[in-house]
């Protein structure tokens, strides 16, 4: 699902859902609906994701599937976050985290910690936010799932960036980028390139930032993976500043150079 084949994955999950419905198996249905909800979230279809995840949660509770309950709660928290419902997002993520800790469900704990860290960072509690995201990275490194680890690194990078710790944020973004590239996590690669661009632009390297943003945009277009609203404000603000600094024509020349870069070129550009 994270190899960029979102539409194909959606078709496969929908076929599986139709099959599971005929078997009347709440546990299996909860799992498939959870996967569909997660996929809808990644495609920016938040209303659809919410409906699928709420149904998954009901079925998981019916089946007393504690891991599926945790999955649905944390994903629902992230949907609320993306839709700007911050109070609801925090409550649902805290509920999911508590349940995941209770059963030591280590695959989902980092996602809940990272989401909470980013929410708390918005309120200005930088120390608490950094502690949560640092814990998420530590746990994710023991799970054996590169996607979980890369997401945790990205969450930490965002919190560091928002605290003005650009050097540290850049290092963490680069680590996440290289791991995502090695694992073929293309949507993660796009997010890392965008985040690095924001950091690099803040440090004054506008031309390199424009190239990285162009590369990320081309990748998202290929994947049909929209940018999350969670990151859009910082990204849009940085682009406006860089476009004004460079001028629209020069900005577009650099952006188009970025769209033509290979993944290897992107990593080289990011690591300069």
Tokens of 227: 């940018």
pTM of the predicted protein model: 0.88
Q: Is the pLDDT of residue 162 over 50?
A: yes
Separation between Cα atoms, residue 263 and residue 190, nearest integer Å: 10
The residue among 208, 160, 151, 217 whose CA lies nearest residue 179 is: 151
The whole-number pLDDT of residue 2 equals 47
Q: Is the pLDDT of residue 10 over 60?
A: no
Task: Outline which parts of the chain fall under CATH 1.25.40.
Answer: 1-77
The residue among 76, 145, 75 whose CA lies nearest residue 107 is: 145
Separation between Cα atoms, residue 88 and residue 157, nearest integer Å: 24
Q: How confident is the model at residue 82 (pLDDT cuts 50, 70, 90)?
A: very high
Mean pLDDT of the region 120-138: 95
Q: Which fold has domain 1-77?
A: 1.25.40
What's the whole-number average pLDDT of the chain? 90
Minimum mean pLDDT range among 3-12, 26-35, 162-171, 181-190: 3-12
The whole-number pLDDT of residue 18 equals 53
Q: Is the pLDDT of residue 149 over 90?
A: yes
Contacts of 259 (CB under 8 A, 6+ apart): 214, 215, 217, 218
Tokens of 1: 């699902």
Contacts of 187 (CB under 8 A, 6+ apart): 2, 4, 42, 220, 223, 225
The whole-number pLDDT of residue 3 equals 43
The whole-number pLDDT of residue 232 equals 84
Q: How far is CA 270 from the centre of its chain?
A: 19
């Amino acid at each position: 699902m994270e190899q960029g084949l979102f539409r194909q994955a959606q078709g496969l999950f929908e076929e599986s859902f139709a099959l599971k419905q005929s078997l009347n198996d709440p546990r299996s249905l909860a799992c498939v609906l959870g996967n569909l909800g997660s996929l809808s979230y990644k495609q920016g279809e938040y209303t659809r994701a919410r409906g699928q995840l709420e149904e998954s949660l009901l079925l998981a509770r019916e089946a007393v599937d504690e891991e599926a309950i945790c999955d649905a709660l944390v994903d629902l928290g992230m949907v609320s976050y993306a839709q700007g419902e911050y109070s609801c997002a925090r409550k649902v993520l805290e509920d999911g985290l508590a349940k995941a800790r209770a059963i030591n469900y280590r695959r989902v704990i980092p996602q809940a910690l990272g989401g909470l860290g980013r929410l708390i960072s918005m309120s200005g509690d930088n120390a608490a936010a950094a502690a949560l995201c640092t814990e998420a990275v530590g746990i994710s490194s023991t799970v054996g799932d590169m996607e979980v680890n890369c997401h945790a690194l990205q969450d930490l990078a965002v919190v560091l960036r928002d605290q003005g710790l650009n050097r540290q944020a850049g290092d963490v973004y680069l680590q996440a980028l290289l791991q995502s590239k090695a694992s073929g996590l293309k949507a993660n690669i796009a997010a890392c390139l965008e985040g690095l661009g924001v950091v690099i632009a803040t440090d004054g390297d506008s031309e390199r930032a424009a190239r990285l943003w162009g590369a990320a945009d081309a990748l998202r277009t290929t994947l049909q993976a929209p940018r999350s609203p969670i990151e859009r404000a910082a990204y849009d603000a940085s682009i406006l500043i860089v476009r004004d600094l460079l001028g629209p024509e020069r900005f577009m020349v650099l952006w188009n150079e970025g769209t033509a870069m290979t993944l290897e070129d992107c990593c080289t550009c990011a690591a300069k």
